[in-house]
C-alpha cells in the first residue's frame, strides 16, 4: 500500500510595485516568495501570481479574485506596506477582510527590529477572507525570508510556523514543510502521522 500523497495547495503571490509593474525594473518579490516556499513546502503547489501597481482598488480586486475565483488557500503579498503616500497594501487588504490576524504583523515587525530600527514603520497586516489566509510581507527579498523563516540562531520563530495550523482551522489543506527550513507548530491533536 503506497503512502498517501501530500495535499495539493494553491498559493497566490502578489507583488505590489509601481515601477516593477510598469517594467522600470525587474520584480524581485514573486521570485523571492516562490524560492522560499519551494524550499519550505513539501506539498505540490499551484501558483497564482500577480504583479500590480500601488493602487488600492487594484490590490483589493486582485486579493478578492485570488480568494473568491482562483480559490487560493494562502495569499502572500509583498510591497506597499510602508508609510509613503503610495503604500496602500494594508488598507487594500483590510478592505477585503472578514477577520484580522494581528499577531502576524506584530511578529514580522519584531523579527525585522533585530536588523533595522525602521522596522516600526512597517504596516504589514494579515487577514482572513472566507477560508483563505492573506499575509502582507515586507518588500525586500532578504526580509521576506527572515520573517517567514525566523531567526533560528536566536530562537525567534518566523511567521510561517503558524500558517499551516491557521489554514487547518479554516478547513484548508494540510500544509507540510521541510523542517530544516521551517518547523511548523500544531497541537498534538492536529498532527497527522509523519511520512
Give the per-residue pLDDT at 2. 53
Give the per-residue pLDDT at 193. 79
Owning domain of residue 122: 9-182
Residue 189 lies in a domain: no
Give the per-residue pLDDT at 4. 60
pLDDT of residue 1 exceeding 80, the answer is no
Residue 188 lies in a domain: no
pTM, to two decimals = 0.95
Q: What is the pLDDT of residues 25-62, one digit of tens each?
A: 889 999 999 999 999 999 999 999 999 999 999 999 99
Q: At what angle do helices 102-112 and 141-149 cross, to 10 degrees?
A: 120
- The structural domain count of the chain equals 1
Helix H or strand E encompassing 166: helix 163-169
Positive or negative, the Cα torsion across 110, 26, 70, 177? negative
Residue 23 lies in a domain: yes
Q: Average pLDDT in the 131-146 region?
A: 95
Q: What is the pLDDT of residues 63-76, one digit of tens each?
A: 999 999 999 999 99
pLDDT of residue 117 exceeding 50, the answer is yes
pLDDT of residue 3 exceeding 60, the answer is no
Give the per-residue pLDDT at 37. 97
Write down the mean pLDDT value for the chain.
94
Residue 2 lies in a domain: no
C-alpha cell at 113: 527590529
CB under 8 Å, gap of 24 or more: what pairs does 33-39 form? 33/76, 33/78, 33/137, 33/144, 36/144, 36/145, 36/148, 36/149, 36/181, 37/11, 37/76, 39/178, 39/181
Q: Average pLDDT in the 159-183 region?
A: 96
Residue 25 lies in a domain: yes
Residue 24 lies in a domain: yes
Q: Whose CA is closest to 172, among 39, 10, 40, 14?
A: 10
Give the per-residue pLDDT at 18. 82
Residue 4 lies in a domain: no
Residue 194 lies in a domain: no
Domain CATH for 106: 3.40.980.10
Helix H or strand E encompassing 21: helix 18-21
pLDDT of residue 176 exceeding 60, the answer is yes
Amino acid at each position: 500500500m503506497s503512502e498517501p500523497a501530500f495535499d495539493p495547495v494553491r498559493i497566490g503571490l502578489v507583488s505590489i510595485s509601481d515601477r516593477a509593474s510598469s517594467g522600470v525594473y525587474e520584480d524581485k518579490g514573486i521570485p523571492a516568495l516562490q524560492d522560499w516556499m519551494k524550499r519550505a513546502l513539501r506539498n505540490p503547489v499551484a501558483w497564482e501570481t500577480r504583479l500590480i501597481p500601488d493602487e488600492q482598488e487594484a490590490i483589493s480586486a486582485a486579493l478578492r479574485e485570488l480568494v473568491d475565483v482562483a480559490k487560493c488557500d494562502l495569499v502572500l503579498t509583498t510591497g506597499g506596506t510602508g508609510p509613503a503616500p503610495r503604500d496602500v497594501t494594508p488598507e487594500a487588504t483590510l478592505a477585503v477582510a472578514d477577520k484580522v490576524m494581528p499577531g502576524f504583523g506584530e511578529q514580522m515587525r519584531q523579527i525585522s527590529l533585530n536588523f533595522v530600527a525602521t522596522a516600526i514603520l512597517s504596516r504589514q497586516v494579515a487577514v482572513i477572507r472566507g477560508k483563505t489566509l492573506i499575509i502582507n510581507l515586507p518588500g525586500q527579498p532578504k526580509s521576506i525570508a527572515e520573517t517567514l523563516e525566523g531567526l533560528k540562531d536566536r530562537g525567534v520563530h518566523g511567521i510561517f510556523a503558524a500558517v499551516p495550523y491557521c489554514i487547518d482551522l479554516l478547513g484548508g489543506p494540510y500544509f507540510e514543510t521541510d523542517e530544516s527550513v521551517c518547523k511548523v507548530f500544531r497541537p498534538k491533536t492536529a498532527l497527522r502521522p509523519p511520512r
